[in-house]
Amino acid sequence: MTASAQVKNYIANIPEGKTFSSSSLRQLAVSDNIRQILHRLIKAGEIRRVARGVFVKPRQVAKLGMAMPSALEIAKTLAQSTGETITVHGAEAARQLQLTTQVPTRLVLYTSGNSRTLRIANRTVKLIHANPSRLIAAETKAGLVLSALKYLGKENVTTRTIAAIQQRVSSGEFKAVMSLVAHMPAWMADAFYRYQQGKTHES
């Protein structure tokens, strides 16, 4: 099978609407060939370039036209291609967990890579270099909880906050959060301890 056929076969097996990076094709062809093949597929309308080195298979939605992946999904694919670890900023994490009603005006992500600003899917995405403690359990619900609580801060994290979180995640996800207590700041670990003690006294 030719390099072109292998690349096309690889892309054919990617679900419509999903992103992929050019680096994911490196085991199939040399870089120059990959660029040429992707260029031809873009011209044919079979794929679209959504960021540097990131592409998507178009997905048509009735009455809505072409559905595009979110800026976050594109950023995750881009991070995978560069070997970075990323996670959403605490403000977005808190919003996703319904701990705040504020909606961030732009997408901000923590990254293990360099701080920079990207233009992705007509949105400005800011990546901020973070130390490893900000990236614990990245891209998991447990990591989302830690990011949200760090953003809210000591004064705003109470046993009620933790109770609200337990209601909004699965039992397995909450256990995963509890397994990270040793990695939490002391004030956060204390809040979880008080919550668990309260639950014990109730039973």
Domain ranges in the chain are: 3-67, 71-202
Mind listing the pLDDT tens digit for each residue in 122-178?
788 999 999 998 899 998 999 999 999 999 999 999 999 999 999 999 999 999 999
How many residues would you count in the chain?
203
- pLDDT average, residue stretch 186-199: 92
The reported pLDDT for the residue numbered 81 is 87
Tell me which of 105 and 53 has the higher pLDDT.
Answer: 53
Mind listing the pLDDT tens digit for each residue in 178-187?
999 999 999 9
Report whether pLDDT(70) > 90: no
pTM of the model: 0.77
Token readout for 155 is 């004064």
Domain 3-67: assigned CATH number: 1.10.10
Per 3-state DSSP, the chain is made up of helix, strand and coil in percentages (nearest 5) of: 50, 20, 30
Q: Which of 73, 65, 49, 55 is nearest to 14 (CA)?
A: 55
pLDDT band at 60 (very low <50, low <70, confident <90, very high): low
